[in-house]
A and B are shown apart, each in its own frame.
Chain A
Amino acid sequence: MNAPNKSGWKPAMNADGESIGGPATHTGNRALMLEEELIFEIGGTDTTGVDLPQPDAFAQRRTGGLERTAEIGLPGLSEPETVRHYTRLSRQNYAIDLGLFPLGSCTMKHNPRLNEKVARMPGFADLHPMAPSTTTQGALAVIHELGEWLKTLTGMPAVAMSPKAGAHGELCGILAIRAALEARGDARKVVLCPESAHGTNPATAAFAGYEVEDIPATPEGRVDLAALEARLGPDVAAVMITNPNTCGLFERDFRKIADAVHAAGGLVYCDGANFNAIVGRVRPGDLGVDAMHINLHKTFSTPHGGGGPGSGPVVFSEALAPFAPLPFVEKTDDGFVLVEEETAGDRHASSFGRMTAFHGQMGMFTRALTYILSHGADGLKQVSEDAVLNANYVLRKLEDVLHAPFADSGPCMHEALFGDKGFAEGLSTLDLAKGLIDEGYHPMTMYFPLVVHGAMLVEPTETESKAALDQFIGAMRSVAERAIAGDETLKTAPHYAPRRRLDETLAARKPVLAWTEPAAE
């Protein structure tokens, strides 16, 4: 018996689990499931939800004769209409606040609300980035304090705080590597990435001007050390390795890999996307890493916000520290100093430059530091242990029904990987995912990593209770059994979401990316 909702409520189903359709409604709404039109359909250019003085037609204009006279076409709504519009839209979203969000490699953990409260303190939220540093000492202290935590937690001597997201952090790390190699007159051309790497790794290396080559994996899902060693040479600038890796496994040979790369004159980039599995328990700096980005929106609980903003500070080894980007915060006897172009000449002459207009994602720094202080050194260790425990629990409770290709490779870290082997002909991972939507869950990461057919990567995170995991496992088991049995209704799932499957082919063939007035009939 799979655990249904404790309340016993199953929308639109009878006691036998059969669908009971109701009559069509006039509005197309179904009680609390409310349809909502576009602002362009309900708003008007003469409506506004703010009270501002109306401009005086005879007011002076000193805009160089460039007045905007043509209609812009921006619809407005009154405040109540605005609040209702977005509230209705919000209810068509799944979110961590609604339930377990098992997206592998995305670390969808609970977002503490204290973080939000702190980020909105006027001293942080209402502070200009170019305000004189005598008036921003508290903000600079936050950046510095968070940086110290990140250095200590990773065992690395330097940190760059300005990268705006994980991919931006990766770019920061690779640019520092390139700058360091150039500084020693070593024009290496190749970056090695494991074939299981997230697509961002090769994209970043290519963006920085490198040729990308794959490193093969062993059958147990780890980097093939012998193959890597065989490929190393004077043309290899760096390797980029995710650890724990995208198969959910710790790279046991990481230290040997790092030593081999260093011996061949290259540098080691570690993708820190999966740092949540080891935070507080393992320091990447002890494994020979030269650069690693940290997704504050994963490990350190800043909200994903429907796709950003993120934040991707990068920690550096001694070898790369001199090349880190501007600006950064330095603690001096006279307080905190922001080192930027004005002062960099004396203090940081080898910096590879600036990656963004200001100092990084301050709003994420305040949240991440709040989270880190809440957990402390002991709590963070418990975070990684519970994250790993939860993932192994899911792996072992489902490996009898779902193919787990690396189940014999040892315990997983913070995520459990399954494949679609055993599904009935014609049913795929996508169908299972859509079936999971009907069960009230956001699906796991699908079709990644590419090394497993029909991959399903489940990352429960540490903020799920055992009861929540048991309910999810029940749902997953039920949908997997349907996929194996060949239940055709999975192919048309989801049945109960605000929308049925969407036509992505139509969207891509004839892209409609902005609203236009419908032609008059």
Chain B
Amino acid sequence: MRYLPLTDADRSAMLETIGAPDIDALFVDVPHEAQLDGPIRGLPMHASELAVERHMGRLAKQNLAAGDAPFFLGAGAYKHHVPASVDHIIQRGEFLTAYTPYQPEIAQGTLQMLFEFQSQVARLYGCDVANASMYDGSTACWEAISMARRITRKTRAILSSGLHPHYVSVIKTMARFTGDEIHYCAPSLDAAPDYAAMLDAIDDDTNCVVVQYPDILGRIGDLSAIAEKAQAHKALLIAVVTEPVALGAIKSPGEMGADIVVGEGQSIGVGLQFGGPYLGLFATRQKYVRQMPGRLCGETVDAEGQRGFVLTLSTREQHIRREKATSNICTNSGLCALAFSVHMTLLGEKGLRALAAENHRLACHAVDTLANVPGVTVLNDAFFNEFTIRIDGDAREIVRELAEKNILAGVSLGRLYPDETGLAGGLLVAVTETTSEDDIDALAASLKEALA
């Protein structure tokens, strides 16, 4: 057993030191009837590295990787090229096998990285401060609603119909237990986002308005009017960004007056990974920082006056506040935050803007190409790298049919909104720098064939 360094001689010597006749003597407090008399039956015994790698490799090959097919899936998880140096750095043992930096004198690497990460996220989102990350976009979104409740002391949350339906599900699950009142309806297939309805819904009882930007259908609009009206009614605007690359091209929610900006950071550095681990981003105004959930890294000095970094404001957290904590979360997504930060450093502002422009250019090309396919209508006027097309019939069938031809066509609205028959013809199509013009042509050709 290659991960266990003790030899049988070591074990005997140690038992003798302890004064125990055998290993069973150390389990004497476990009731006898609860102990197994040998290895659990029905499970295989230990295996060599080669054997395990073969088994797992076989399972991996039963999947169609995004890179092995024309690929157009998005809906909150995007395929982007991650530079090779990102993975090299996150595999350094000093990052990979470190713990939460509770001993700052020997964790300055992780802490300085988190401080840089927080600064990058705050700037990307157009906010004052960001935390050291959360589980993913959906849980960060719920945490934002909880935080708004602590600030406004009101409980009515108005969710835009353009919010990712899985995020809505997470919110509804949690709200059922906290008593928050959630207002939400499924989207309709309009060219513009539902901001007029949002404006109408805000009143003095409103805790927060939650708007995704770009929204689930890829639509974009100016959030300023919603921010103004929310603030006039002492409510907060929470903006949700599931595609951070977009903010290299379009205004940040912070610039438009959002009070809390949350989202998914997976696009930058992390990879698809079948849904996790991902990276929850969370930023807000300086004045709300003590109501913020999650870990925070702050700058300070050491006993010799040298700059250093520590986890700070930890009295908000569960290990000190117990049942009065701002959240029960005690993990961030540290290694994913590192991947994000390294990738963002490689990009820099120049690279991020170029990456965003390339995504948008290819998405425009895809829109124009698909609009020429008989039976396809493009919904969006404005979009970044993802848009919605409409076809007659059920887009789920088309997705399945094209998958059999090794074309991963997109995410059908029927899968996201199984109860909304009116949305069944909708298909979300995402296009990134990893999409080639040949891929777009292949999608157009196969759609044409399928719809003929």
Task: Say yes or no: A67 contacts B250, CB within 8 Å.
Answer: yes
CB-CB under 8 A from A370, the residues of chain B are 52, 56
Residues of the A chain whose Cβ atoms lie less than 8 Å from the Cβ of B63? 123-124, 127, 131, 135-139
**Nearest B-chain residue to A214, judged by Cβ:** B322
Does B421 interact with chain A (Cβ within 8 Å)? Answer: no
Of the listed stretches A262-270, A278-286, A474-482, chain B binds: A278-286
- What is the interface size of chain B, counting residues whose CB is below 8 A from a CB of the partner? 208
Stretch of B24-32, B197-205, B439-447 lying at the A interface:
B24-32
Partner of A309, one of B104, B112, B333: B333
- Is the Cβ of B99 less than 8 Å from the Cβ of A103? yes
**Which 3 pairs show the lowest CB-CB distances between chains A and B?**
A76-B348, A358-B275, A305-B335
Q: Which of A117, A153, A304 contacts B100 (CB 8 A)?
A: A304
Q: How far is the CB of B294 from chain A (nearest CB, A)?
A: 10
Of A7-15, A224-232, A379-387, the one contacting chain B is: A379-387
Q: Chain B nearest CB: distance from A358 CB in Å?
A: 3
- B277 and A278 form a contact (CB under 8 A): no
Chain A residues positioned under 8 Å from B47 (CB to CB): 373-374, 376
Q: Chain A residues with Cβ under 8 A from B306's Cβ?
A: 499-500
With A75-B345, A497-B105 known as contacts, the answer to whether A61 contacts B360 (CB < 8 A) is: yes
Give the CA-CA distance A351 to B133 in the complex, in Å.
Answer: 28
B276 touches A410 (CB 8 A): no
* Cα A96 to Cα B264 with chains together (Å): 29
- Closest CB of chain B to A274's CB: distance in Å? 13
User: Which residues of A (251-280) have their CB < 8 Å from a CB of B?
Assistant: 252, 255, 278, 280
Return the contact of A305 from the options B53, B96, B318 (Cβ within 8 A): B96
Question: Which residues from chain B contact A3 at a C-beta distance below 8 Å?
Answer: none
Chain A residues positioned under 8 Å from B331 (CB to CB): 164-168, 307-310
Contacts of A205 in B (CB 8 A): 323
The minimal Cβ–Cβ distance linking B417 to chain A, given in whole angstroms, is 9
Any A CB within 8 A of the CB of B77: yes
- From 120 to 165 in chain B, residues with beta carbon under 8 angstroms from any chain A beta carbon are 120, 122-124, 128-130, 132-133, 135-139, 164-165
Instruction: For B276, list chain A residues within 8 Å (CB).
Output: 129, 164, 309, 356, 358-364
Question: What 0/1 readout, one digit per residue, does chain A (103-135) give for beta carbons within 8 Å of chain B?
Answer: 100101111101011111111111111111011
CB-based nearest B residue for A83: B85
Pick from A313-321, A417-425, A503-511 the stretch touching chain B: A503-511
* CB neighbours of B52 from chain A (8 A): 114, 118, 370, 373-374
CB of B349 closer than 8 Å to a CB of A: yes
- Report the Cα distance A364→B403, complex, angstroms: 27
* Interchain CB contact under 8 A, B44 and A250: no
Neighbouring A residues of B29 by C-beta, 8 Å: 249-250, 252, 410-411
- The reply to whether A72 and B352 form a contact with Cβ atoms under 8 Å apart is yes
Given contact pairs A56-B361, A118-B56, A209-B178, enumerate 18 new A-B contacts (beta carbons under 8 Å).
A65-B382, A82-B345, A108-B99, A127-B64, A164-B139, A167-B318, A198-B319, A202-B322, A281-B27, A306-B100, A306-B107, A309-B276, A309-B277, A309-B335, A370-B52, A379-B1, A411-B27, A514-B128
* A-chain residues with CB within 8 Å of residue B354 when the two chains form the complex: 48, 50, 52-55
Q: How far is the CA of A45 from the CA of B345 in the complex (A)?
A: 10
Q: Contact at A378–B296, with CB atoms within 8 Å?
A: no
Identify which of A132, A352, A358 contacts B399 (C-beta below 8 A).
A132
Report B-chain residues with C-beta under 8 Å of the C-beta of A515. 115-116, 119
CB of A513 within 8 A of chain B?
Answer: yes
Asked whether A503 lies within 8 Å of B302 as measured between CB atoms, the reply is: yes
Q: Is the CB of B333 within 8 A of A129?
A: no
Interface residue? B260 (CB, 8 A): no
Partner of B334, one of A55, A307, A410: A307
Taken together as a complex, chains A and B put the C-alpha atoms of A311 and B39 apart, in Å, by 25
Bound: A91/B338 CA distance, A? 15
A375 sits at the interface (CB 8 A): yes
By the criterion CB–CB under 8 Å, are A45 and B355 in contact? no
Q: Are the C-beta atoms of A255 and B31 separated by less than 8 Å?
A: yes
Residue A442 lies at the interface, judged by CB distance under 8 Å to chain B: yes
Distance, CA A131 to CA B145, complexed state (A) = 30
* B112 adjacent to A74 (CB under 8 Å): no
Interchain CB contact under 8 A, A378 and B39: yes
Q: Does A234 contact B (CB under 8 A)?
A: no
Contact partner of B313 (CB less than 8 A), chosen from A171, A301, A468, A508, is A508
B188 within 8 A of A: no
A76 to B99, CA, bound (A): 27
Interface: B225 (CB within 8 A): no
Complex Cα spacing A85 to B348, Å: 14
Query: Chain B: which residue is nearest A143 at the CB level?
Result: B274
Q: How far is the CA of A462 from the CA of B6 in the complex (A)?
A: 8
